[in-house]
Amino acid sequence: MTDKPEAVHIIHIAAPAQKIWDALVSPDLSPSYFFGNRFEFGPKGGDFRVIQPDGQVNSEGKVLVRDEPHVLRVTWDVVIFPDMRAETPGQVEFRLEDLGGVVRLTVSEFNRPPGAVKYEESAREGWSLILSGVKSIIETGEPMPQVQPEGPQ
Amino acid sequence: MSRFVYVTYIRTTPAKLWQALTEPDFTQRYWFGARQECDWKVGSPWKLVMPTVGLADSGEVLEVDPERRLVLSWRNEFMPELKAEGFSRMTYDIEPEGETVKLTVTHESDGEVFIEKVSGGWPKILSSLKSLLETGEPLPRPA
């Protein structure tokens, strides 16, 4: 695989990188901006999982990079959608860069499986919702009112 | 054709978002000092003036549907290599989604360099807009 992402989602947040990192890796906070789903990130080499509100595993993978509070990169296998699975799962990277008083959070998707093509639009909307939600809860202390992502479920 | 699409969700109303996108005094606060000049009628000229460079961009209003959609033609005026690419087309689409509003910015051009430049600029500007509407404060100006 190349290291050129197939999709990039960017948001700027007025907060220290550590605070944004904590919001990403906190299993308690993630449901408020991730449609009720919970992120679980293990240590480097450990497991990554997305748990749905009903307890089912939505996605799973391995933690490839965990460089706090700068880079978090995982393999991401959407196990809940069989047609999105591939021999080589895609990767997602969260990157935090301090621009001076504001942090740029970049989510990059690498090596998306062929089956992901039809989910491209909903993936963009989904990531936009997640990043908008992360920014709102960090900057205002309140989660963004719930919006359900569109697209295949 | 190169295309940049950015979607953001803001806790606000379509009326407030429309005002934020079109009122020069409000726009200047989140757009890091840039000021729009326009009467928002179809066919009217549109200008963006930046404190550092003066006239930065110009174009024309192509479509106006208050609180729903705004389309501008848009050309850079201060970087010769971008100006040479001619007019791009920029669309704001506003859709209420529950208690939030979804804003989609689509910027398209036959020139690739211009779209590459705005791809870096829009996330900063729209993040600052979201901050201003939700917290009352825009983002600090980038260093």
Q: Where residue A59 sits, what CATH number does that domain have? A: 3.30.530.20
**d(Cα B118, Cα B128) in Å, to the nearest integer?**
15
CB of B10 within 8 Å of any CB in chain A?
A: yes
| A99·B142 Cβ contact <8 A | yes
Q: Which of A50-54, A73-77, A108-112, B132-136 has the lowest mean pLDDT?
A: A108-112
CB < 8 Å to A101, chain B: 139-140, 143
CB of B5 within 8 Å of any CB in chain A?
A: yes
Q: 């600090």: which residue's tokens? A: B140
Q: What residues make up the domain containing A48?
A: 7-140
Q: Is residue A146 part of a domain?
A: no
> What residues are paired with B7 via a beta bridge?
B104
Q: Is residue B102 part of a domain?
A: yes
CB of B112 within 8 Å of any CB in chain A?
A: no
| B131·A139 Cβ contact <8 A | yes
The total domain count for chain B is 1
Q: What residues make up the domain containing B91?
A: 2-135
Q: Is residue B140 part of a domain?
A: no
**Minimal Cβ distance to A102: which of B6, B100, B140:** B140
CB of B95 within 8 Å of any CB in chain A?
A: no
Going by pLDDT thresholds of 50, 70 and 90, the confidence category of residue A153 is very low
Q: Is residue B13 part of a domain?
A: yes
By CB atoms closer than 10 A (0-12, 13-18, 19+), residue B25 is exposed
Q: Is residue A151 part of a domain?
A: no
Token pair, residue A53, equals 């509100």
Res A1 pLDDT > 60 = no
Q: Is residue B142 part of a domain?
A: no
Helices assigned H by DSSP within chain B: 14-22, 24-30, 80-83, 112-135
B103 phi/psi in degrees, rounded to 5: -115, 125
Distance from CA of A136 to the nearest CA of B (A): 8
Residue of higher predicted confidence among A58 and A1? A58
The predicted complex's ipTM stands at 0.93
Q: Is residue A2 part of a domain?
A: no
Q: Is residue B15 part of a domain?
A: yes
pLDDT (0 to 100) of residue A118 = 76
- For A121-151, the pLDDT digits (tens) are 888 889 999 999 999 999 999 988 877 666 5
Q: Give the contacts of A75 (CB within 8 A, at least 6 positions apart).
A: A48, A61, A62, A64, A89, A90, A91
CB of A145 within 8 Å of any CB in chain B?
A: yes
Res A152 pLDDT > 70 = no
Q: Is residue B143 part of a domain?
A: no
| A132·B128 Cβ contact <8 A | no
Element (DSSP H or E) covering residue A37: none
A103 phi/psi in degrees, rounded to 5: -115, 135
> What residues are paired with A86 via a beta bridge?
none
What is the DSSP secondary structure assignment for residue A143, as one 8-state letter?
A: P
Going by pLDDT thresholds of 50, 70 and 90, the confidence category of residue A59 is very high
Q: Is residue B33 part of a domain?
A: yes
pLDDT (0 to 100) of residue A116 = 74
pLDDT more than 90, % of chain B: 94
For chain A, how many residues are written?
A: 153
Q: Is residue B87 part of a domain?
A: yes
CB of B19 within 8 Å of any CB in chain A?
A: no
Res A2 pLDDT > 80 = no
Mean pLDDT, residues A58-74 taken together:
97
Angle between helices B112-135 and A120-140 (to 10 degrees): 40
Nearest to B5 by CA among A115, A75, A80, A125: A125
- For B90-134, the pLDDT digits (tens) are 999 999 998 999 999 999 999 889 999 999 999 999 999 999 999
Contact A63, A49 (CB under 8 A): no
Q: Mean pLDDT score of chain A, rounded to an integer?
A: 90
- For A4-22, the pLDDT digits (tens) are 898 999 999 999 999 999 9
- For B31-90, the pLDDT digits (tens) are 999 999 999 999 999 999 999 999 999 999 999 999 999 999 999 999 999 999 999 999
CB of B129 within 8 Å of any CB in chain A?
A: no
| A-B contacts (CB, under 8 Å) | 68
The total domain count for chain A is 1
For chain B, how many residues are written?
A: 143
